[in-house]
Amino acid sequence: MIPVVKGWFTETSIEVASLGIQVHGGMGYIEETGAAQYYRDARITTIYEGTTSIQANDLVGRKIAREAGATAKAVIKDMKATLRALKAVEGEDFAAMARHLAAGAKAVEQCVGWIVDTYATDIKAVHAGSVPFLKLMGIVAGGWQMARAALAAQAKVAKGEGDAGFLTAKIATARFFADHYLAQAPGLRETVTGGAAGVMALAAEQF
Ligand SMILES: Cc1cc2nc3c(=O)[nH]c(=O)nc-3n(C[C@H](O)[C@H](O)[C@H](O)COP(=O)(O)OP(=O)(O)OC[C@H]3O[C@@H](n4cnc5c(N)ncnc54)[C@H](O)[C@@H]3O)c2cc1C
């Protein structure tokens, strides 16, 4: 998970800081409000924390292909245990989370299989898809952890414990993440497993 934590979190921090500018409109863009400084500070993290493509190369190569996906498969098994727990809870929020986590875990599983199978015969194709795979892994692992938080919140709500406003907000944000981010997983799978042709198409002198 180290390349995922370093690569996906830092890429996401740029997106979050950029949204921070956007929601404040023109006031967000000008330096005096400070929002632009957060964006600039976030922007360096994908470079000096180890660049995103180097993290992604580590993920597909040393972390997955080298051990034939053993750890990744164990993580997918844990995701499926959370999936079963989601399916056991009633309500549309948990059904939506289960639907998107099922598709996400399947996308990760298919990519891990493809990475392991392809690494020995077409290493360039695997590395061409490494950054989209890093993003896929981050989104699915993120959605998985959000789902675990939602399940913990739901257990408290059912017992009438804790701060109901905080707990229902936790469930709502997990649902939002599932609908808006986890839902991207099947598309990323297509880029990982089928995106190499465009990456490799041009000769060096064509750039
Ligand atoms: C403000 C700042 C503070 C820093 N502080 C430290 C520090 O405290 N300690 C320290 O050790 N270093 C530090 N660094 C250096 C940092 O580790 C490097 O900037 C970083 O490793 C990236 O190397 P590079 O800048 O030479 O980029 P390059 O290696 O030239 O990379 C350029 C681009 O090409 C991509 N790329 C390179 N090789 C490959 C490849 N094989 N496959 C695919 N893509 C590739 C990279 O992902 C990147 O997008 C700092 C840098 C900055 C800017």
What pLDDT, in 10s, does the model give residues 183-196? 999 999 999 999 99
Mention every residue, 6+ apart, whose C-beta is less than 8 A from residue 177.
Answer: 142, 143, 146
End-to-end CA distance of the chain: 34
Query: What domain range is 40 assigned to?
Result: 1-50
- 33 pLDDT higher than 90: no
The answer to whether position 205 is within a domain reads no
On whether both 87 and 161 belong to a single domain, the answer is: yes
- Looking at the structure, do residues 131 and 74 belong to the same domain, yes or no? yes
Question: Tens digits of per-residue pLDDT, 142-170?
Answer: 999 999 999 999 999 999 999 999 999 99
Distance between CA atoms of 39 and 193, rounded to whole angstroms? 32
Residue 63 covered by a domain: no
The whole-number average pLDDT for the span 38-64 is 97
Fill in the DSSP letter of residue 65: G
- Whether 85 and 154 share a structural domain: yes
**Residue 33 shares a structural domain with residue 78:** no
Which pLDDT score, from 0 to 100, does residue 98 have? 98
Amino acid at 12: T
Please give the Cα distance from 30 to 53 (Å, whole number): 31
Residue with tokens 């400070």: 34
Domain-embedded: residue 156: yes
Instruction: Answer whether residue 51 shows pLDDT above 90.
Output: yes
User: Same domain for 30 and 112?
Assistant: no
Question: Encoding tokens for residue 71?
Answer: 């750890």
Residue 54 Cα: closest atom of ligand 1: 47
- What is the rounded CA–CA span in Å between residue 109 and residue 92? 25
> 148 lies in a domain?
yes
For the chain, how many structural domains are there in total?
2
Please check whether residue 79 lies inside any domain of the structure. yes
Question: Closest Cα to residue 111, out of 147, 72, 54?
Answer: 72
Angle between helix 70-87 and helix 130-159 axes, rounded to 10 deg: 30
Residue 9 and residue 81 in one domain = no
Q: How many A from CA of 55 to the centre of ligand 1?
A: 11
C-alpha span between 13 and 71 (Å, rounded): 26
Report d(CA 139, CA 102) in Å as an integer: 13
Please determine, for residue 129, whether its predicted confidence score (pLDDT) is greater than 90.
yes
Q: How far is it, in rounded angstroms, from Cα 11 to Cα 188?
A: 16
The overall average pLDDT reported for the chain is 97
- CA 134 to ligand 1 centroid distance, Å: 18
Give dist(CA 154, CA 75) in Å, integer: 23
Q: Ligand 1: does its nearest atom lie under 6 Å from the Cβ of 33?
A: no
Q: Is 61 in the pocket of ligand 1 (CB under 6 A)?
A: no
Place of tokens 């360096």: 44
